[in-house]
Structure 1
Amino acid sequence: MSGGGRVLLVEDDPRLGPIVRDVLSASWEVELVTTRVDALEAALHRLFDVLVVDRRLPDGDGLDVVRELRRFRVATPALVLTALGEVRDRVSGLDTGANDYLVKPFDFDELNARLRALTREPVDLGPAYEIGGWSFRPDDHTVHSPYSGRVALTDRESDLLAVLAAEPDRVFSREQLLSAVFEHGEQLGTVDTYVHYLRKKTERDLIATVRGKGYRLGTPA
């Protein structure tokens, strides 16, 4: 292995899976699994530097693997590798918590480059906001947990938290947050939905509800 790390490869194709494993093994330590259940078992109990996840698995969608890992606050970078290449497919993958998306057929040099990018230590992560025991980096779209490390956020989750973090003592109405973060035509309930998403990925106390007024930044332990 030369300059790589540990990769969990989730691919059920009996021909492609071993080929990808063997090619990546020139630079990475690769563990190959073929089902959603085995992927979750591996990722929850062993340490990996990056995940490569196929979508069409025999026991479910590979995006469910990413979704479940983020629910358990496992922030290992994930690249979704799939034949589903429509824009809506890529968007759904990234919104689920994946960090990158590569469509089949693909070039192995590009796959290796993307894995290196996902595991590379960033030179400058930009400003950080300390929220209780958590650290939020809006430029990197991540929050860092005092318990389990890096948690990836979607663009909208990050933008919403950035508005609250910029003025931590201010109570924002739902209307103000809707206007500041979301596209014209979105409903007020969208704000509540994304507050729920952020709380689910982090802690409920990260965002405080001010009854009858709206939301403000919280004070999690």
Structure 2
Amino acid sequence: MEDDNELAEMLVDLFAVEGYSTDHVADGQRGLHLGLTRSYRVIVVDRGLPALDGLDVVVRLRQRAVDARILMLTALGDTADLVDGLDSGADDYLAKPFEVPELLARIRALTRRVTDDADTIPLGTARLDTALRGVRLPGGGFVPLSGREFALIHSLALRPRAVHSRAQLRRVVFDGADSESIVDTYVHYLRRKLGTAVVRTVHGLGYQIGTL
């Protein structure tokens, strides 16, 4: 998703040479539609998009449990902007102007992560199954999750080292619900189904994915 036509044409040609099949849109609304209706391994999102800002696009994709890897490409390169991009649900963040070899290396790294995941995300000895929307247990059992339970654990598991604030989870997972207590409620549901270790409380900061 890139609204600079000259840069967009360059990227499409560059990705084609590298063997990637691409779709290009120039505004956030159409980009969100494609992200929700088609399957992508990696999505490149410009932050300053017309119709719908790139941050909002990423948040809404994650709210709908879209698990494609997302690279945010933007002219805003301050640390605060980077943090905002990653907190919205992006997997990587590259500021303009950028070097083409670095961009391609980041795309390759994100693509490898998609291949390695193979529709599951590790949770210690268990795995989160993104296709079946549940947790595969070590002994072969399977625990199905509700839509919001899955969206919450998926958001935590995508960035296992990150501590996610209640405000961030309320925005990304629960569509900006009125109260942050909804986050605590669904953490309780996950712990009741999967054990208390599945979500770790980081006092004063928020939550982090645990292990099973």
* TM-score, scaled to structure 2: 0.64
> What is the DSSP-based 3-state SS (H/G/I as helix, E as strand, rest coil) of the residue aligned with 2:5?
coil
Q: Which has the larger radius of gyration?
A: 1
Q: Gaps spanning 5+ residues in structure 2: where?
A: 138-143, 176-182, 195-212
In the other structure, the counterpart of 2:13 is 22
> What is the DSSP-based 3-state SS (H/G/I as helix, E as strand, rest coil) of the residue aligned with 1:60?
coil
In the other structure, the counterpart of 2:124 is 127
Tell me: CA distance 1:15–1:117, structure 2 relative to 1, closer, same or farther (3 Å): same
* Structure 2 CA distance for aligned equivalents of residues 199 and 84 of structure 1: 25
Which moved further from structure 2: 45-54 or 146-155?
146-155
1:207 aligns with 2:187: yes
Deviations 1:99-131 (CA, angstroms, capped at 9, x unpaired): 000010111111111111112134995724568
RMSD: 3.6
Residue type at the aligned position of 2:93: Y
> What is the DSSP-based 3-state SS (H/G/I as helix, E as strand, rest coil) of the residue aligned with 1:219?
helix
* Structure 2 CA distance for aligned equivalents of residues 145 and 65 of structure 1: 25
Deviations 1:17-37 (CA, angstroms, capped at 9, x unpaired): 111111111121111110111
Structure in which a larger fraction of residues adopt helix: 2
* Structure 1 CA distance for aligned equivalents of residues 8 and 168 of structure 2: 36
Residue type at the aligned position of 1:134: V
Residue type at the aligned position of 1:127: G
Superposed, 1:70-109 pairs within 5 Å as 70-109=62-101
Whether contact under 8 Å (1:11, 1:54) holds in the other structure is yes
Deviations 1:73-99 (CA, angstroms, capped at 9, x unpaired): 111110000010000000000000000
Whether contact under 8 Å (2:27, 2:49) holds in the other structure is yes
In the other structure, the counterpart of 1:151 is 154
Superposed, 1:49-60 pairs within 5 Å as 49-60=41-52
* TM-score, scaled to structure 1: 0.62
Q: Gaps spanning 5+ residues in structure 1: where?
A: 1-9, 137-143, 158-189, 210-215
Structure in which a larger fraction of residues adopt strand: 1
Q: Percent identity?
A: 34
